[in-house]
Each structure stands twice: as structure tokens, then as C-alpha cells.
Structure 1
Amino acid sequence: MTDQTATTPEVTPAGLLDDWMPRRELAGISGVSADTLKRWETPRIGPPCIRIGRKVLYRRSAVRAWLLEQESRETSGRGMAGK
């Protein structure tokens, strides 16, 4: 018999979604409307998200990574604009 508690991390129900935020919260933080985030979901041009039933959640670390990616996209093309 093996001890599975050593290999499976314990997550309390209260802390299960600590790293996730609903669309409305991301909209408030980012200044982008919830409708815009919804439109970005299908073509996958916005931050990655998951669905739990009707609820859409964004992982905070994935949103940070997406923002950094957007920053590098914008700065990579700036040097060529004036040439």
C-alpha cells in the first residue's frame, strides 16, 4: 500500500481558486471591458482562460505572462517603424 498524500498536494477548498479571478475582476483591473475580454476568448487573442460551467476564470500568473508577451510584441516592432 502506497501513501498518496506524499505525492498529491493538499488544497483546501477555500484556497482552491486563490490564483484565479473572474472575468469581471480582470476587466476592472485591466481597464478592458468584460465584453472585450469575451470577444477575445474565441480567437484566443486575449489572456488564456478556463470555463467552469458559465463561469470564466483567468489565472493571475497566466495574465501576467500574457501581458509581458504583449509588451515584447509591441517593443519588437518599434525600431523598424521609422526606417
Structure 2
Amino acid sequence: MLRNLWGPGDVASYFGIPVQTVYQWRHKKYGPPCRKIGRHLRYKPEEVESWFNSLEA
């Protein structure tokens, strides 16, 4: 069963950044993986956390 999926606003809130930065990351092929459902971007919270943990300190 899927946990609730996050939208760009949820990802921005998680990182404490502007939502526009999340859209810029996607445009630059950077950031956590996401999927497009219709015209909406959705993120799996565990993938967002995993991506963050993979960044070098």
C-alpha cells in the first residue's frame, strides 16, 4: 500500500525551500525522483528521504 504521495509543495516544505526551487530541480534533472500523474507531479516520501540521505555531507 502506498503512503500518501507528496506534491511539490510538500517537498519544498520538507526541505524548507521555495516551491519554485523544486520545479527548477526537475527542469535541471536534479532532486528527488518524481512521477507525473496527469499534469501533477507526485513524490514518494521515502524516495525524497532516500535522495536526501544520498547527498554528501
TM range (shorter): 0.7 to 0.9
Does 1 or 2 have the higher relative contact order (CA < 8 Å, sep 6+)? 2
**Counterpart in 1 of 2:18?**
33
Structure 1 runs, 4 residues or longer, greater than 3 Å off: none
Over the matched positions of the two proteins, sequence identity in percent amounts to: 26
- Cα separation, 1, equivalents of 2:43 and 2:29: 13
Q: What is the TM-score with the length of structure 2 in the denominator?
A: 0.81
Residue 20 of structure 1: SS of its match in structure 2? coil
Shift of 1:27: 1.1
Number of corresponding residues: 57
- Of structures 1 and 2, the larger Rg is shown by 1
Q: What is the TM-score with the length of structure 1 in the denominator?
A: 0.60
Gaps of 5+ in 1: 1-10, 75-83
**Counterpart in 1 of 2:45?**
60
Gaps of 5+ in 2: none
Please list the CA deviations of residues 17-60 of structure 1 after superposition, one character each: whole Å capped at 9, or x if unmatched: x3411111121222111100000002221111111122111111
- Cα separation, 2, equivalents of 1:34 and 1:54: 16
